[in-house]
A and B are shown apart, each in its own frame.
Chain A
Amino acid sequence: MTDVVVPPIAGSPAGARRRRSWYRRNRIALAPWLFLAPALIMFAIYVVAPIFQSIWISFYEWDGLGEAEWVGLRNYEDLLYDDRFYTSLKNNVIWLVLYMAAVPAGLAVALFLNQTVAGIRVYKSLFFFPFVISQVVVGLIFAWFYNPNFGIVGQVWEFFGARPPSILGDERYVTYGIIFAGLWPQIAYCMILYLTGLNNVSPDQVEAGRLDGARGWRMLWHVILPQLRPATFIAVVVTVIGALRSFDLIAIMTQGGPYGSSNVLAYYMYEVALSEYGFRYGYGSAIATVLFTIMLVYISYFLWRMWRDEREGR
């Protein structure tokens, strides 16, 4: 690793000794680079460079094997006339909006569990369970629940004498059905963030609020929520990212169907790029670039907040 950073002084007389002393003199300036080098190299190869490569590929038409052909902005023009792209984009918006329900729901569960009764610790960790489980398993469970022939939804409908709907087979319901499944682990995640936040709420302020006659909703809104702001911020960030990253559930439950109606950008990109009918790397990269641009808005906001905190903090 040393050779990567230290300029070669080999060839000069007493090179080894001078090199050592040169290192000694510049140790404090060099050391952070040495510590960072392995992580930076790995991260540059597998994360940073691929982002730019993807954007670059989006200007080409390429099947991954043959020669790539420069097409300029044509992939993006094609997106403008692609109904499946619009369906996916629309579904991403639905995901973003409805997934946000996990934040207040997680807060509600956290408030419900924030007591000190016997066994509450076990309750808290059992409520957290859905988050630890793979989304593949969550998807399988819910796909089975929604099955109109022998799923629980079908049985409930039949109990009321109605013909059960096929949630995952109906273009009108399918996205909502998948989002509902996704909310289950996401609520658990938000709950644990809020439970930790509630743990750190200052008891003095709560007491002061009580003396001022604040109770219930007013207390929650004016005293508790302002103190939970960091928890809310993280909960919103992870929920937005979770919504935009939704892939596993769709791959397991519907593969984007029926007729592409439950597609989202993340899955549509995968479908296009690694399609059975030939790879379309260029077009897939264009979709990925759009998704990345949307995510960049949130990433920038997050970094801006962090930067502000860093400046104030230390």
Chain B
Amino acid sequence: MFPAPIQKASPSAQLTYKLALPIALFVWLLPLLAIFMTSIRPAADINAGNVFGWPSQFQLIENYVTVFTTSDAAVYLWNSLRITVPTVIVSVALACLAGYGLAIYRGFRWALPLFFLFVAGNFVPFQILMIPVRDLSVRTDLYDTITGLVLFHAAFQTGFCTLFMRNFIKALPYELIESARIEGVGEFKIFWYLVLPLVRPAIAALAVLIFTFVWNDFFWATVLIQSDEYLPITVGVRSLNGQFVNQWQLVSAASLLAALPPVLMFFAMQKHFIAGLTLGATKG
């Protein structure tokens, strides 16, 4: 293990380490703590210049209720959910199929070029897609609809999901599939009854990752959505920032609301989340 376990160090070094941990964490998360503290302050504190000190009064519930009653935050959050969940389902489903196609057929000569196509597409800058995708959405009446945004997100995220799925399926024992084929089991049955149950951990990892990516998307929502009634929370927070001018307690509360779902998701599915993110960081 590196660095050497702290337990082998001198008692004073151990104490220093144990003290340094919470201090480092405090400094690291200071920006978040600051907006949390602000989000529970009364407006009077901010007007009086008490922005970073102890709040004169705790208004946790009042401030958050005010955000919901005076703005469209609830609609934005609901839209985010309506965009994110279908995207996750579609992109993961497509990737399961594609990953199987790319990983299982050894004689399939197009497997590697197509795999690289998905990988490369996953890395392109959004701007090179922006105008044609926007134009296509306008022409097909999908501009300014949630469906249009979902279709694009699902297609784009399929690249990353396929990369992930293909590698995961490739690592499964091949003899399993081969023996099923010799038994005469159909290809789709092998996929459905044999492979799909085995890739459940990969599905979980992808689901949390894609949820976070899509929930946090800002660019595509500004490009493909125009009406206030369809905006997700990321863009919504920006317009709230304009609406609540200098009411920092409300802006902070809205920001935290926007950040909360991915954070909860991360905490609930931490193991899967990290497994997905660090794919390839340990091998290769």
Taking beta carbons and an 8 Å cutoff, which residues of A are in contact with B? Answer: 27-29, 31-36, 38-40, 42-43, 45-51, 53-55, 57, 64, 111-112, 114-117, 120, 123, 125-130, 132-138, 140-142, 144-145, 150-152, 155, 184, 189, 192-193, 196-201, 203, 206, 219-220, 223-224, 230-231, 233-235, 241, 244-245, 247-248, 251-252, 265-266, 269-270, 273-274, 281, 284-285, 287-289, 291-292, 295, 298-299, 302-303, 306-307, 309-310, 313-314
Contact = CB atoms under 8 A, between A and B. Distances in A.
A111 B5 CA distance: 11
A265 to B, nearest CB: 7
Interface string B148-190: 0001101110110010000000100000000000000001000
B128 to A, nearest CB: 4
Of A50, A120, A189, A302, chain B has the most CB atoms within 10 Å of the CB of A50
A120 to B, nearest CB: 8
A136 B238 contact: yes
A54 B167 CA distance: 31
Q: Most chain-A CB neighbours within 10 Å: which of B94, B110, B266?
A: B94
Given A155-B51, A289-B128, A292-B124, 11 more contacts: A39-B162, A54-B129, A116-B7, A134-B216, A134-B259, A137-B258, A144-B35, A192-B278, A196-B274, A198-B2, A307-B116
Nearest to A49: B132
B68 interface: no
B123 A252 contact: no
A137 B237 contact: yes
B117 A140 contact: no
B234 A134 contact: yes
Contacts of A112: 20, 24
A247 B220 CA distance: 11
Q: How large is the interface on B (under 10, 10 to 19, 20 to 34, 35 or more residues)?
A: 35 or more
B32 interface: yes
Nearest to B279: A234
A136 B234 contact: yes
Contacts of A140: 237-238, 241, 251, 255
A145 B252 CA distance: 12
B6 to A, nearest CB: 5
A150 B35 CA distance: 13
Nearest to B248: A144
A144 B250 CA distance: 13
Contacts of A291: 125, 127-128
B198 interface: no
Interface in B220-243: 222-223, 234-235, 237-238, 241
Contact of B105 (A32, A51, A57, A192): A32
A45 to B, nearest CB: 7
Interface stretch (B56-64, B96-104, B199-207): B96-104
B231 to A, nearest CB: 12
29 contacts: A28-B187, A32-B104, A32-B108, A32-B110, A42-B158, A43-B118, A43-B155, A46-B129, A47-B121, A47-B159, A48-B121, A53-B131, A54-B130, A64-B135, A115-B3, A120-B21, A132-B266, A137-B255, A141-B34, A193-B281, A230-B284, A231-B278, A231-B281, A234-B281, A245-B125, A288-B130, A295-B123, A306-B119, A310-B112
Contacts of B245: none
B135 to A, nearest CB: 7
Given A136-B238, A150-B46, A192-B278, A54 B131 contact: yes
Given A40-B98, A111-B3, A125 B266 contact: yes
Contacts, number: 296
Contacts of B280: 230, 234
Nearest to A151: B51
Contact of A129 (B107, B191, B263): B263
Given A46-B151, A224-B2, A295-B125, A35 B101 contact: yes
B44 interface: no
Contacts of B196: none
A245 B1 CA distance: 36
Contacts of B266: 125, 128-129, 132
B54 interface: no
A136 B125 contact: no
A224 B20 CA distance: 24
B97 A299 contact: no
Contacts of A115: 3, 5-6, 17
* Interface-centre pick from B29, B119, B255 (highest chain A CB count, 10 A): B255
Contact of A32 (B25, B102, B123, B159): B102
A200 B281 CA distance: 10
A35 B235 CA distance: 36
Interface string B267-283: 10010001001101111
A274 B29 contact: no
B2 A244 contact: no
A53 B129 CA distance: 8
The 4 closest A-B pairs by CB, nearest first: A35-B101, A46-B155, A50-B132, A39-B98
Interface string B2-32: 1101110000000001101100110011011
Nearest to B162: A39
